[in-house]
Amino acid sequence: MRINDIEYIEVEVLDVRSSSHATEAFSLILTDKFRDDRYVPIIIGLNEARAILGERHGRLPQRPLTHTLFADLLTDYISDYNIEFVSIDEYNEGIYYASIVIQSPNGSYFNVDARPSDAVAIALHARVPIFFKKVLFEEQMHITQKTSGRQEVADYMDLYSSSKTQASEPGTGWGAMTVAELKEILQNAVDEENYELAAKIQEEIDKRKA
Give residue-wise pLDDT tens across range 36-58: 889 998 988 878 888 888 888 77
Ordered alpha helix ranges (H), the chain? 46-57, 66-72, 116-126, 134-140, 149-162, 179-191, 195-209
Quick one: DSSP state of residue 176?
Answer: G
Domain 2-140 CATH assignment equals 3.10.690.10: yes
Q: Which has more pLDDT, 134 or 166?
A: 134
CATH 3.10.690.10 residue spans of the chain? 2-140
> What is the structure's pLDDT at 162?
41
Report the predicted TM-score, pTM, of the whole model to 2 decimal places. Answer: 0.67
| Residue 210 pLDDT level (bands cut at 50, 70, 90) | low
The pLDDT of residue 165 is above 70: no
